[in-house]
Copies of this chain bind each other. A is one copy, B any other.
Amino acid sequence: MTEQTVEPDTSAHGYTPEKEAYLKRLRRVEGQVRGIARMVENDTYCIDVLTQISAVTKALQAVGLGLLEDHLGHCVVDAARRSPEEGAAKVEEASAAIARLVRS
């Protein structure tokens, strides 16, 4: 089985095609964090503030999971297609990032 020669576009990142969507989601998270501060400012009941913190944490993790999938599908796949060694290096790097996400 021979593999086609593929010139991966190393200038862009996995997330580049979805850049605007990510920026929109991050701006929303930023606004939600500002909203949590307002809740504290206004002496909102603790549990309601905690509920919002859990929601924002999940939203931020979802952005992370999206970026990770794009990275695996672009940077890691391209590196693997260049050589097994480049693929292995990218996998090691991505696995460390996954561990940080799991433990955050």
Known pairs A1-B5, A60-B60, A99-B65; A71 contacts B50 (CB<8 A)? yes
Let me know if A50 and B97 touch, CB within 8 A.
yes
1/0 per residue, CB under 8 A from B, across A56-67: the answer is: 111011011101
How many copies of this kind of chain does the complex include? 4
Contact of A92 among B37, B69, B82 (CB under 8 A): B69
Chain A interface size, under 10 / 10 to 19 / 20 to 34 / 35 or more:
35 or more
The SS class assigned to the A binding surface is helix
Let me know if B54 and A76 touch, CB within 8 A.
no
Smallest beta-carbon distance A37→chain B, Å? 4
Measured in the bound complex, the distance between the Cα atoms of B5 and A55 in whole Å is 38
